[in-house]
Chains A and B, each alone.
Chain A
Amino acid sequence: EDQVTQSPEALRLQEGESSSLNCSYTVSGLRGLFWYRQDPGKGPEFLFTLYSAGEEKEKERLKATLTKKESFLHITAPKPEDSATYLCAEQDNFNKFYFGSGTKLNVKP
């Protein structure tokens, strides 16, 4: 079965300490790799879509990259307001999305 695995489960950073989150996927016929941010008690907020290996997208302090089997979300000089759970998801050829379990990021001032 198609699977999305995120690591680490939780990450604590000091403000300004850059790091990366990992998302590995096994779907056959990948149609897209998606990153979302979710704050407690709210719906996931769309961040990025990546479609092909080598693709990169940036938004403020976040940069998403994609290889053939994994994606990384790089966070440069994070701030406390970046604290949230980051979810990745893959879409297969049948319009179904598979979510990873998420990485809970805590950025301390």
Chain B
Amino acid sequence: DTEVTQTPKHLVMGMTNKKSLKCEQHMGHRAMYWYKQKAKKPPELMFVYSYEKLSINESVPSRFSPECPNSSLLNLHLHALQPEDSALYLCASSQESQQGNTIYFGEGSWLTVV
């Protein structure tokens, strides 16, 4: 079982709504990620937080706003989304080691924008 927990599992929102996706991990990992995955496509990196600081932003539109309140939590705030933003949003975490780091994914949050 994955130790990265995402809520909600499903979310339907209108284009004028404000909502948030939440992610929690209890593995003591210090890097956390948001990925977006469309049907039949690989995951695409959106954001990386390292030691609670945003380290990578893959030119994601400002209608997506990440937040890392502490080392165990990661949020993705959503505002004024477009129907094409409908996708599976995956949270992941990893711990740096001498050889590299393996990322572990949550089950994802299915987002539908209507």
Q: Does A106 contact B (CB under 8 A)?
A: no
CA distance A32 to B48 in the complex (A): 18
A87 contacts across to B, CB distance below 8 A: 42-43
Q: Does A45 contact B (CB under 8 A)?
A: yes
Q: Is the CB of B107 within 8 A of A49?
A: no
Q: Is the CB of B41 within 8 A of A34?
A: no
**Residue among B90, B102, B107 with the highest chain A CB neighbour number at 10 A:** B102
Q: Does B55 contact A (CB under 8 A)?
A: yes
CA distance A107 to B10 in the complex (A): 29
Q: Which of B83-105 contact A (CB under 8 A)?
A: 88, 90, 92, 99-105
Q: Is the CB of A43 within 8 A of B90?
A: yes
Q: Is the CB of A45 within 8 A of B2?
A: yes
CA distance A94 to B56 in the complex (A): 10
CA distance A101 to B44 in the complex (A): 11
Q: Is the CB of B110 within 8 A of A46?
A: no
Q: Is the CB of A97 within 8 A of B103?
A: yes
CA distance A31 to B100 in the complex (A): 6
Q: Is the CB of B55 within 8 A of A45?
A: no
Q: Which residues of A contact B (CB under 8 A)?
A: 31-32, 34, 36, 41-46, 49, 51, 87, 91, 94-97, 99-102
Q: Which residues of B contact A (CB under 8 A)?
A: 2, 4, 6, 31, 41-43, 45, 48, 50, 55-56, 88, 90, 92, 99-108, 110
